[in-house]
Every structure is written in structure tokens, then in C-alpha cells.
Amino acid sequence: MPGAANTPAGWRVRRVAETGSTNDDLVREARDGAPHRSVIVADHQTAGRGRLARTWEAPPGANLLVSVLFRAAYVAHPPQVLAQAVGVAALRAVRARLPRRGAGAAALKWPNDVLVRDAKCAGILAVGERPGDRERGFVVVGLGLNVGWCPEGATSLAREGAAACAPADVLADVLREIDGLEPLPATDLRATYLESLGTLGRRVRVELATGGGESVEGDATDVDDEGRLVVTLATRDAGGARERRTIDAGDVVHLRPLADA
């Protein structure tokens, strides 16, 4: 593939011209024993998946569509921490290609979206199986990163003024960044993730993944060790303390910063 020569050592990258979903393919291969650090990258997906059964769109050849496999035998971090590490790696890869002003405006949105000027440039979907099973357990982390194309309301490297580049070049950057992050102890990785997260300290609305259209609004104050977002509400409990909600899954809308709230 173009740029494949840049792939850092230790990754087994397989490129396919077209598939349904690189995540589905790699999960299947992982169950069959594919090795740690296997990577599938596609020019085109016909059934690209987002979180919560949504779809991920990209025209053939325009964007990075990739899944990476971490086997529990080789990496101790739980699924949400590996997803966070790939999110930070994607953010760094995006920042490195943006003109200086854009780089400062790039941040993660909980759980792992890469935003530039509050528009989505990349998203992550992690699928873990058999947690705690050192031999057969694994996590597949899928990353869709908009290089040359984005849908209405989102953004891409091209749209943000980055020099033209191939998705394969961005993949090499992302893998190199993961190389730097994966060996870090959990506490350092957590700190790096929290530093990268534009959501903390913001007024947010979270549309909950409960199916009933429920949402909560408040201040995003923490992400716990399980990767859940802690939102402090305006309402107070019987003791006068502000109530808190801990959220497993949902969609965050960044409202104004805390300072203006």
C-alpha cells in the first residue's frame, strides 16, 4: 500500500480494497487466534460501524478506516483504556498535520472522538471479548479518521488545511503514537487521556444511550477508572450537595465552558 514502508515495526498490517467492516473482520480473526498487533485497513467499507449500532461513512480511498488488535496476553490495560490510548494517538496524529492554529483547537470529546474546532474528525469503536481471559481475551479498536472527506457538519484533515496526504501515512503516524502510549503505566495513560479531553470542565448535554431519548445537562467533572463520564448536575440532593450522574454510554454535546456557565 502507498506509505506502507513507513509502518513502524511490530505491526502486521493487512490492507483490503473493500470489506463490510474492518472491526467485524478483525474480531472474527481474533477469535481464530490472530496475533497481537494485527491491523486491518480498508480503502472502503460497505457496512462501517459507529457506536450504538450507527453507521460510519466514507467514500472509497478518501479516509483512514482501520482496526487494531490487542491481545490480553500482551497488554494488561482494559478495553476502555486501550480505546482511550488509540484516541490520544489519533488526536496527536491529527494535531501533527494541522496548521498551527488548528492544532490548538483539536481535542478529544468523551469518550474518544477527535474534534477540531468542535467538529468531528475521527471516531473510535472498541469491541472487547473475554475480559480477564489472558489466553483468549482481546480488544479490537476501530478508528475512522477523516483525511480527505467528511460528511456535513463534521471535519477532515483536508478541510482543516492540512497538506494532502494518504490515509496510509496517517495510519503510520497513529501506530507510532500507539507505540509510545501502550507501554505507559495505567496512571500515566489516564493522565495523558484526561489532559487530551476537551470535555472536562465544560458544560455538557449528554444524550443517554438508554433508548428513551433521555438526556442530562451539567458540568463534566471527571472520567472514572471504568471510562465513565461523571456529570455534576445543577440540582441538589437532600444534603444540599450537587447531584452527580455517572454515564456509561451516550453522546456528549459540548455547551459553553465552565467559566461562562
**The only residue of 13, 27, 39, 66 in contact with ligand BT5, by rule CB under 6 A:** 66
DSSP bridge partners of 55: 49
**Closest separation in Å from C-beta 37 to ligand BT5:** 16
Which residue's Cβ has the minimum distance to ligand BT5?
123
| Piece of the chain touching ligand BT5 by CB under 6 A; list 53-61, 84-92, 162-170, 252-260 | 53-61
**Closest separation in Å from C-beta 174 to ligand BT5:** 12
51 lies in the binding site for ligand BT5 (CB under 6 A): yes
Q: What angle do CA 34, 67, 162 make, to 5 degrees?
A: 145
Nearest one of 111, 115, 114 to 230, comparing CA atoms:
111
- Helix locations, the chain, DSSP H: 22-31, 79-97, 100-104, 167-181, 186-196
**Closest separation in Å from C-beta 50 to ligand BT5:** 3
Grid coordinates of 70: 490487542
DSSP bridge partners of 142: 67, 125
Q: Is-contact 242 234, C-beta < 8 A?
A: yes
| Piece of the chain touching ligand BT5 by CB under 6 A; list 8-16, 62-70, 172-180, 193-201 | 62-70
Site string for ligand BT5, 151-170 (x = CB under 6 A): x--x----------------
**The only residue of 21, 80, 84, 196 in contact with ligand BT5, by rule CB under 6 A:** 21
Grid coordinates of 159: 478541510
Helix, strand, or coil (residue 120): strand
Alpha carbons 91 and 104: distance in angstroms, whole number: 11
Closer residue to ligand BT5 (CB): 12 or 244 = 12
150 lies in the binding site for ligand BT5 (CB under 6 A): yes
Nearest one of 98, 99, 127 to 114, comparing CA atoms:
98
120 lies in the binding site for ligand BT5 (CB under 6 A): yes
CA 102 to chain centre: 19
- How does DSSP classify residue 55? B
Closer residue to ligand BT5 (CB): 115 or 200 = 115
142 lies in the binding site for ligand BT5 (CB under 6 A): yes
Instruction: Find the binding residues for ligand BT5 in span 71-100 (CB under 6 A).
Output: none
Residues lying near ligand BT5 in the complex (CB under 6 A) are found at 21-23, 45, 48-52, 54, 56-58, 65-67, 113, 120, 123-125, 142-144, 146, 150-151, 154
